[in-house]
Amino acid sequence: MAESTMQKIVSLAKRRGFIFQSSEIYGGLKACYDYGPLGVELKRNVKDAWWRDMVHRRSDIVGLDCSIIMHPNVWRASGHLAGFSDPLVDCRNCKERFRADKAPRAVPGAALTYREGGRKDGKKLEGVVPDRGYVCPVCGAGDLSDERQFNLMFRTSLGPVDPMQEILNNMDELHRLQGNERKQKLADIIGASAVYLRPETAQGMFVNFMNVLNSGRMKPPFGIAQVGKSYRNEITTSNLTFRTCEFEQMEMEFFVEPGTDDEWYAYWSRERFAWYTSLGMRPERLRLREHEQKELAHYAKACVDVEYFYPFENPEGEGEWGELEGIANRTDYDLKKHSEHSGKDLSYFETETKKRFTPYVIEPAAGADRATLAFLCDAYDEEVVDKEKNDVRTVLRFHPRLAPVKVGVFPLVKKEGMPDRARAIMDELLGEGINSFYDESGAIGRRYRRMDEVGTPWCVTVDTETLEQGTVTVRERDSMAQSRVPAAGIGDYFRNRLKSS
Ligand code: GAP
């Protein structure tokens, strides 16, 4: 069977050093990935572009870098301890554990056939779709356990007390206690040292609202931005880095006066959509999807997702819309909750108007890994160069700002001093901070193709004319056009091209 686009992207990502399975030599770890030498550059460029456009290019947004482990009361106040959960179900037939809200929908009462144990050679069984209207996503059976809420936060413990050891030390007492008293004792032992890996970066901005307001002399409307790791014990993980347990977020909380929130919500929805197209993402593969009332998180007045049409495989074929980023109007929910739980006033007093208010928050929350994956998928192209010769090139058409390597530098041949000139050019480019790659092996055409496959926008070739006239060949990735450019000042030349791209 022909490889799907996604399979080709996954295999290119591994072969060329973008994304590897984590701990691969030990069989890999489900839903955990490592970025290789090119992947780390790509993801860094995505995060840098976000930081530059959201923080450095604006006077109304400042940055923050908070700790991943925060006071457990942060998660009590935010509602994550009580409500950040997915409904989990066990299939009694094949033992698969899955998310009820992601299971395939089916008409209650409709007839079902499935195999015993979910095995291909298992006995054929018959059943009906249960009233809840879904079946097991793996074996298709309707014999399912009740739904249980499963909290997505990773719990760990802080300090010298190991809660497991404490439970062992208290075994006699735990045996004596009954029912709720025993449960309470266990909860007390675990709770004494329990802390959580943050499931979103956002709360760091809310709890530091007053610190930033006072130290940075900011006043609404203004934003606090952060890029960093978040952790969720996701049950359903799929499609490379799309949904993983450890991922990076790029979030910004924009604090505004109540009453101006709808306007700012519309503004940030437009801005964030435009950010992806400004970095070359194809607009026809992007859309804004407004959440219906029933989908809204408990804190949100409105929410719109920027979605990308990923080339994921699914029963209907190739391609499916997936969330890249959510823009939410979180109202004053978070600041008020943290005020209530901490006892600290988090309202703002506007001296000019003598008005006091708790700001509303508009939050554009993006995923760095999801955006990196979307840019990788969007850049992927197979171009027929010569149909008769069956010459097809694989090219990643990254925007130059995102391309992991900006310039490939080659000597045409490995003699006549060309390698030395090429290396000098490479050093000049690296000195300018332009990530470049030197390659002298194989035919020049193959070297160009290798650079196309990793999305390098330009190649420079040192040839006889370089030695005689001081010019080099510059070859464009997208058009494959070639031109001659003076070798002197090549660093300035590419700096300008990057700036104007
Ligand atoms: N503070 C709001 C918030 O965290 P979210 O929609 O849960 O909202 C924001 O997350 C973004 O973070 C998502 O749009 C997605 O890009 C990314 N994200 C969330 N969960 C993820 C996961 N398990 N793996 C990779 N990225 C994830």
Tens digits of residue pLDDT in 362-394: 999 999 999 999 999 999 999 999 999 999 999
In order of 202, 212, 327, 477, the CA distances from 198 in angstroms are 9, 20, 20, 41
Q: Which pLDDT belongs to residue 43?
A: 98
The values of phi and psi at residue 258, to 5°, are -55, 140
pLDDT at 99: 87
Pocket lining: 370 vs ligand 1, CB cutoff 6 Å: yes
Residues 6+ apart with CB under 8 A from 272: 306, 325, 327, 364, 366
- Measured from the Cβ of residue 38, the count of other Cβ atoms closer than 10 Å reads 22
Q: Please count the helices (runs of H) and the strands (runs of E) in the chain.
A: 16, 25
E strands of 369-406, at which residues?
Answer: 380-386, 391-396
Smallest CA separation from ligand 1 atom 9, residue: 365
Q: Which two tokens stand for residue 493?
A: 């030349």
> What pLDDT score was predicted for residue 237?
66
Atom of ligand 1 nearest to the CA of 201: 1
- Ligand 1 site, residue 234, Cβ cutoff 6 A: yes
**Secondary structure class of 459 (helix, strand, coil):** strand
Q: Per-10-residue mean pLDDT for the chain, 501 residues long?
A: 90 97 93 96 98 97 97 95 87 91 89 92 93 92 91 91 87 89 87 92 98 91 98 84 96 98 98 98 98 90 97 88 97 97 96 95 98 98 95 97 98 94 96 96 96 98 95 97 96 95 88
Calpha distance 477→373 (Å, rounded): 21
Q: Which pLDDT tens digit goes with each residue over 416-449? A: 899 999 999 999 999 999 999 999 999 999 999 9
Taking CA atoms only, the protein residue closest to ligand 1 atom 12 is 367
Cα(323) to centroid of ligand 1, in Å? 8
**Distance from the CA of 366 to the center of ligand 1, in angstroms?**
7
Q: In what order do the strands lie in the sheet with 436-438?
A: 436-438, 407-411, 458-462, 471-476, 482-486
Q: How distant, in Å, are the alpha carbons of 6, 172, 267 from that of 3?
A: 8, 60, 41
In the reported structure, the alpha carbon of residue 326 is separated from the centroid of ligand 1 by a whole-number distance in angstroms of 8
Neighbours of 478 (CB within 10 A): 11
Query: Which two tokens mark 395?
Result: 């090219």
**What is the distance between the alpha carbons of residues 61 and 223, in angstroms, rounded to a whole number?**
4
Q: Which of 323, 327, 361, 363 to mutate to test the pocket of ligand 1 (most atoms within 8 A of CB)?
A: 323
- Taking CA atoms only, the protein residue closest to ligand 1 atom 4 is 200
369 Cβ inside 6 Å of ligand 1: yes
307 lines ligand 1 (CB under 6 A): no
8 Å CB contact between 132 and 108? yes
User: For residue 269, how many other CB atoms are within 10 A of its CB?
Assistant: 21
| Beta carbon of 249 within 6 Å of any ligand 1 atom | yes
* CA 310–ligand 1 middle distance (angstroms): 16
Indicate whether residue 200 lines ligand 1 (CB < 6 A).
yes
Q: Ligand 1 within 6 A of 248 CB?
A: no
CA 242 to ligand 1 center in whole angstroms: 10
For ligand 1, what atom is nearest to the CA of residue 200? 4
Place of tokens 């000042």: 489
DSSP run (H or E) holding 366: strand 360-367
Task: Determine if ligand 1 sits within 6 Å of the CB of residue 202.
Answer: yes
Choose which residue among 370, 372, 375 to substitute to test ligand 1 binding: the one with the highest number of ligand atoms within 8 A of its C-beta: 370
- DSSP label of 358: P
The span from the CA of 19 to the CA of 40, in Å, is 9
Element (H, E) at 331: strand 317-331
Which residue(s) pair with 155 in the sheet?
196
3-class DSSP string for 165-204? HHHHHCHHHHHHCCHHHHHHHHHHHHHHHEEEECCCCHHH
Rounded Cα gap, residues 260 and 332, in angstroms? 13
Closest CA to 42 of 475, 375, 482: 375
Ligand 1 in reach of 147 Cβ (< 6 A): no
